[in-house]
Amino acid sequence: MRFIKLIKQLASNFATSNRATLYSWRNKKTAVVIKDVGFGRILENKHAIVTGGSSGIGLAIAKKLIECGAMVTIVGRNPEKTQKVAQELNCNHIILDLADTHELLEKVSNYIKDKHIDILVNSAGITDKEPWLEKTPENFDLVMGTNLKSVYFMCQTIAKHMIKNEIQGHILNVSSSSSMRPGWGPYQLSKRALNGLTLGFADKLAPKGITVNALAPGVTVTPMTSSFMDSENLAYYNPLRRAETPEEIANLAVFLVSDLGASIVGDTVMITGGSGMFTSSR
Ligand SMILES: NC(=O)c1ccc[n+]([C@@H]2O[C@H](COP(=O)([O-])OP(=O)(O)OC[C@H]3O[C@@H](n4cnc5c(N)ncnc54)[C@H](OP(=O)(O)O)[C@@H]3O)[C@@H](O)[C@H]2O)c1
Domain boundaries defined on the chain? 18-271
Res 21: pLDDT: 60
Alpha-carbon gap, residue 257 to 229, rounded angstroms: 30
Res 275: pLDDT: 79
The answer to whether 23 and 245 are in contact (CB under 8 A) is: yes
Could you tell me if the CB of 42 is within 6 A of ligand 1? no
Could you tell me if the CB of 219 is within 6 A of ligand 1? yes
HEC string of 46-94 equals CEEEEECCCCHHHHHHHHHHHHCCCEEEEEECCHHHHHHHHHHHCCEEE
CATH superfamily of 18-271: NAD(P)-binding Rossmann-like Domain (3.40.50.720)
Determine the residue of 63, 73, 77 to mutate for testing ligand 1's pocket, defined as the one with the most ligand atoms within 8 A of the Cβ atom. 77
Relative to the CA of 127, which ligand 1 atom is closest? 47
CA 119 to chain centre: 12
> Which residue spans within 102-154 are E strands per DSSP?
119-122
Res 10: pLDDT: 34
- Ligand 1 center to 1 CA (angstroms): 51
Could you tell me if the CB of 174 is within 6 A of ligand 1? yes
Could you tell me if the CB of 97 is within 6 A of ligand 1? yes
Run of H or E including 269? strand 268-271
pLDDT in tens, 200-224: 999 999 999 999 999 999 989 888 8
Q: Of 224, 215, 188, nearest to 270 (Cα)?
A: 215
pLDDT < 70 positions in the chain = 1-33, 35, 227-237, 276-282
CA 177 to chain centre: 13
Relative to the CA of 221, which ligand 1 atom is closest? 1
Q: Catalytic residue positions?
A: 187
